[in-house]
Amino acid sequence: MSTMRSDQSTTLLMVDQLSVGFPRKHGEPVTPVRGVSFSLDRGQRLGIVGESGSGKSLTALALMRLVHEPVALGGRVLLDDTDLLGLSPRDMASVRAHRMSLIYQDPMSALNPVFTVGKQIIEAVRLAHDVSAKEAQARAIDLLADVGVPEPMRRIGSYPHEFSGGMRQRVMIAMALASDPDVLIADEPTTALDVTTQARVMELLSRIVADRHLAVILITHDLGVAAGFCDEVEVMYAGRIVESSPVDDLYAHPVHPYAEALLGAVCRLDVDTTQPVPSIGGQPPLPDRLPSGCTFHPRCPYATQRCAVETPVPITIEGVRFAECHYARERASVSSVGGQ
Amino acid sequence: MSLRARASERVECRGSMMTPHQTAGAEASPPNVIASADDLSRHYALRGGDVVRAVDGVSFKVQRGETFGLVGESGSGKSTVARLLLRLERPTAGRVVFDGTDLTRLGDRELRRQRRHMQLVFQDPFGALNRRKTVEQIIGLPLKVHLGLKGEARATRIRELLDLVGLRPELGNRYPHQMSGGQCQRVGIARALALDPEFIVLDEAVSAVDVSIRAQILNLLRDLQQRLGLTYLFVSHDLAIVRYMSTTVAVMYQGRIVESGPRDRLFENPLHPYTHSLMSAIPVPDPAEERARSEKWVDRADEAGAVPKTGCRFRARCPLGTMSEKCEKEDPQLVEVSPDHRVACHFPQSAESIAIRLSKSTDANADGCGDVPSLVRTPELRQT
């Protein structure tokens, strides 16, 4: 699937130097997202991976303009040629109703517990399309069937608490699809689910994305989930994209030391049980207390003096990927020989 | 925060599982068994007369110094087993024996005394700590309540504990919200260690922390076990982590143990379809392998609906479950297939053999259901 890259390279969404800041009572504002840029083509599956606090979810919310104010938004988010950050709230609501959908991590709190799921899906359908109530209901039933909810005719009258976790997430996906969006943003869609259910939901998402030729941004902390789904992965650390790479290259030869460390820390089923799991020492930095130079340098096993003082710029490697590391070029040439 | 991350020698003792009828006179159990569950059940009555069998006839022994891994999905009953073992909950039936004492018969006061030796680390590092108390107060409370430690003696012990879990002493004055998830989890571990217990239940202790921090905590837990001779009950839904941590593993499904055994034996030759399904569902950080997943069999976890009341509980999700009347009628019992490796399945077999069967049955229009007995090729399956 993912070897099939952007069909004819039609950029759908262009994110250019996006930053999100919050003012504080005392002192400088904090900016948990600091100049994030990427582009998303039609049919492309982009992954954003990173630890909690890296700014990945906030990036998603900022794209949808759902960050709670007061907030300083910088940069541009171009959907086709419209800058979403400049739209009026009303126009932005229309973009959310027609073009971009968001799937949240926790379906239980994202769904309204006092309305049936049918009512909630129908609402999404009617926001996007000018159809009768009856027609909307028929579409809602089709959507539920499409996401694999058994007996959709009956289940449309059920309340969220009557569904299992996996089924609830399917309902969320159905709701997100109700508007026939062009862009689907899935923020940790399977984190709250059991592994077996997660595998099924990711399979479903994969099929739906292929069927509808959607552009997807998958936000996850799970490198395994990203590996199977995405064709391009952005690794986020301390509010910046520190490595951007086609999925196969990233997993075969991570260039940025943080990407390498993240991959190394995964506890796999075939891990050597007599050895300690490789871990990343220290903690991810807080947005108001960023280290000087490269933000990863206090935790980086390869850090030099230069890293503590000089902020790295993105270095392009092999034309298709980049890493924000002073030694990206050297590391890229070494890692393609040695690994680890 | 440097971790003493040495390659640790594994503690050389294994847990052994037992079937209910083997467990008479568990009080006289050998001294290397620290805790045992004996045909343990916990049922909850629902309105309308229905009963949820959260734990339904579970038996196992935990050996001193080992890590006993309990794995299953949410709702499998693994956390309830953990709580029953600590007698945080009363069993509906069965017994829990800890260090030769039947916990189910203890009164409140004796139980409190017993609790010193058995502690719990929770999943949610923030939720488990009182947000209005400082780290010092949190760790100091058990020292005060159980040991009556005061003043300098308590402060010294608190510093010792912070050091043990790799936290700087100045963190003692912090409140939980001033710390990261990893730090909070370390505080939770320090609190569990405060009374120098022998037995610690780790209930999804690393599930809520990030990958990088998770590795640190896992290494810390193994290091502490080595140094302090601890015994762990490690509860998790993640089979890879359970494998890494445990010496003995039990897989739970709907209140039952469906497969159990020494770690290596179980992982080299898993035989229950549910174990296969858990294993095949773990996402692997390898794009090629992940893409091939859809060709592997993952069970119908979502769509299975209600758990069958008769016969095998897993059959609604099992690729072989509809193949034989036996699965519908007979509740499979745990049967020993090789030393200490037990499986509760009428047709235990490898994942490969299931895959072959599945491809055959789709080829032949799925009518080859009559010849189920030919599935069982393993000769030792016949004996108990």
The DSSP string of A256-297 is SHHHHHHHHT---TT--TTSPPP---S-PPPTTSPPSSSTTG
DSSP 8-state symbol, B58: E
Output the six-digit token pair for B228.
């302090």
Cβ A200 vs Cβ A147: under 8 Å = no
- When pLDDT is cut at 50, 70 and 90, the band that residue B381 belongs to is very low
Compute the distance between CA of residue B334 and CA of residue B317 in angstroms, rounded to an integer. Answer: 19
Asked if the Cβ–Cβ distance from B8 to A274 is below 8 Å, we say yes
Q: What is the pLDDT of residue A9?
A: 58
- The mean-pLDDT minimum among A93-107, B86-100, B128-142, B298-312 falls in B298-312
Asked if the Cβ–Cβ distance from B287 to A150 is below 8 Å, we say no
- When pLDDT is cut at 50, 70 and 90, the band that residue B382 belongs to is very low
- The mean-pLDDT minimum among A250-254, B32-36, B367-371 falls in B367-371
Q: What is the pLDDT of residue A322?
A: 95
Compute the distance between CA of residue B156 and CA of residue B194 in angstroms, rounded to an integer. Answer: 12
Residue B352 pLDDT exceeds 80 = yes
Q: How far is B218 from chain A (nearest CA, A)?
A: 8
Residue A340 near chain B (CB below 8 Å): no
Residue in chain B closest to A224 (alpha carbons) equals: B285
Residues, chain A: 340
Instruction: Name every chain A residue with its beta carbon within 8 A of the beta carbon of B10.
Output: 273-274
Compute the distance between CA of residue B204 and CA of residue B73 in angstroms, rounded to an integer. Answer: 11
Residue B365 pLDDT exceeds 60 = no
- When pLDDT is cut at 50, 70 and 90, the band that residue B153 belongs to is very high
- When pLDDT is cut at 50, 70 and 90, the band that residue B364 belongs to is low
- CA A240 to each of CA A49, A186, A295, A340, B317: distance values in angstroms, whole numbers, following the listed order: 11, 19, 9, 23, 43
CB burial of B280-294 (b: ≥16 within 10 Å; e: otherwise) equals: bbbbbbbbeebbebe
Q: How far is B146 from chain A (nearest CA, A)?
A: 33
Q: Which of B9, B277, B290, B314 to mutate to test the interface with A (most CBs of A within 10 A)?
A: B290
Residue in B282, B300, B302 closest to A269 by CB: B282
Residue A200 near chain B (CB below 8 Å): yes
Residue A224 near chain B (CB below 8 Å): yes
Instruction: Name every chain A residue with its beta carbon within 8 A of the beta carbon of B280.
Output: 199
Q: How far is A204 from chain B (nearest CA, A)?
A: 10
Compute the distance between CA of residue A324 and CA of residue A305 in angstroms, rounded to an integer. Answer: 16
- CA B383 to each of CA B255, B336, B338, B379: distance values in angstroms, whole numbers, following the listed order: 25, 8, 10, 8
Cβ A227 vs Cβ B284: under 8 Å = yes
Instruction: Name every chain B residue with its beta carbon within 8 A of the beta carbon of A150.
Output: 303, 305
Q: What is the pLDDT of residue A48?
A: 97
Compute the distance between CA of residue B59 and CA of residue B22 in angstroms, rounded to an integer. Answer: 10
Instruction: Name every chain A residue with its beta carbon within 8 A of the beta carbon of B5.
Output: 276, 279
Query: Can you list the residues of chain A whose pLDDT is less than 70?
Result: 1-9, 70, 335-340
C-beta atoms surrounding A4 within 10 Å:
11
Chain position carrying tokens 């001033």: B178
What dihedral do alpha carbons B302, B252, B234, B182 form, nearest 10°?
10
Asked if the Cβ–Cβ distance from A267 to B215 is below 8 Å, we say yes
Asked if the Cβ–Cβ distance from A277 to B215 is below 8 Å, we say yes
Q: How far is B185 from chain A (nearest CA, A)?
A: 13
Asked if the Cβ–Cβ distance from B219 to A261 is below 8 Å, we say no
Mean pLDDT (chain B, rounded) = 84
User: Hey, what amino acid is at B62?
Assistant: V
List the 230-289 stretch of A: residues with Cβ below 8 A of B: 247-248, 251, 261-263, 265-269, 271, 273-284
Asked if the Cβ–Cβ distance from A283 to B182 is below 8 Å, we say yes
Asked if the Cβ–Cβ distance from A196 to B211 is below 8 Å, we say no
Residue B316 pLDDT exceeds 90 = no
End-to-end alpha carbon distance in chain B:
50
Q: Kind of pairing, strands B248-253 and B67-71?
A: parallel
Compute the distance between CA of residue B55 and CA of residue B79 in angstroms, rounded to an integer. Answer: 10
Q: What is the pLDDT of residue B58?
A: 96
SS (H, E, C) A115-150: CCHHHHHHHHHHHHCCCCHHHHHHHHHHHHHHCCCC
Compute the distance between CA of residue B375 and CA of residue B252 in angstroms, rounded to an integer. Answer: 24
Asked if the Cβ–Cβ distance from B2 to A167 is below 8 Å, we say no
Looking at per-residue pLDDT, the higher value among B189 and B383 belongs to B189
**Residue B296, SS3 per DSSP:** coil
Q: Which residues pair with B237 in a beta bridge?
A: none
**Number of alpha carbons in the 13 Å side-chain half-sphere of residue A135:** 7
Q: What are phi and psi of B201, to 5 degrees?
A: -95, 125
Instruction: Name every chain A residue with its beta carbon within 8 A of the beta carbon of B243.
Output: 269, 271, 273
**Number of alpha carbons in the 13 Å side-chain half-sphere of residue A58:** 29
Residue A166 near chain B (CB below 8 Å): yes
Output the six-digit token pair for A256.
């940025």
Looking at per-residue pLDDT, the higher value among B181 and A242 belongs to A242
Instruction: Name every chain B residue with its beta carbon within 8 A of the beta carbon of A261.
Output: 212
Instruction: Name every chain A residue with its beta carbon within 8 A of the beta carbon of B244.
Output: 267, 271, 273, 277
Q: How far is A267 from chain B (nearest CA, A)?
A: 6
Q: What is the pLDDT of residue A288?
A: 86
CB burial of B32-67 (b: ≥16 within 10 Å; e: otherwise) equals: ebbbbbbbbbbeeeeeeeeebbbbbbbbbbbbbbbb
Asked if the Cβ–Cβ distance from A224 to B301 is below 8 Å, we say no
Residue in A1, A229, A277 closest to B219 by CB: A277
Instruction: Name every chain A residue with its beta carbon within 8 A of the beta carbon of B298.
Output: 196, 199-200, 203
Q: Which of A144, A188, A196 to mutate to test the interface with B (most CBs of B within 10 A)?
A: A196
Compute the distance between CA of residue B353 and CA of residue A337 in angstroms, rounded to an integer. Answer: 38
Compute the distance between CA of residue B257 and CA of residue B69 in angstroms, rounded to an integer. Answer: 12
Q: How far is A236 from chain B (nearest CA, A)?
A: 14
- CA B374 to each of CA B224, B349, B368, B369, B378: distance values in angstroms, whole numbers, following the listed order: 48, 11, 11, 11, 10
Q: What is the pLDDT of residue B152?
A: 93
> What DSSP letter does each residue of B147-200 carry, written as one string?
H---HHHHHHHHHHHHHHTT--GGGGG--GGGS-HHHHHHHHHHHHHTT--SEE
Residue in A52, A150, A251 closest to B285 by CB: A251
Asked if the Cβ–Cβ distance from B298 to A203 is below 8 Å, we say yes
Q: What is the pLDDT of residue B30?
A: 57
Residue B374 pLDDT exceeds 50 = no
Q: What is the pLDDT of residue A111?
A: 93
Instruction: Name every chain B residue with its beta carbon within 8 A of the beta carbon of A206.
Output: 294
Asked if the Cβ–Cβ distance from B240 to A268 is below 8 Å, we say yes
Residue A25 near chain B (CB below 8 Å): no
Residue in chain B closest to A168 (alpha carbons) equals: B302
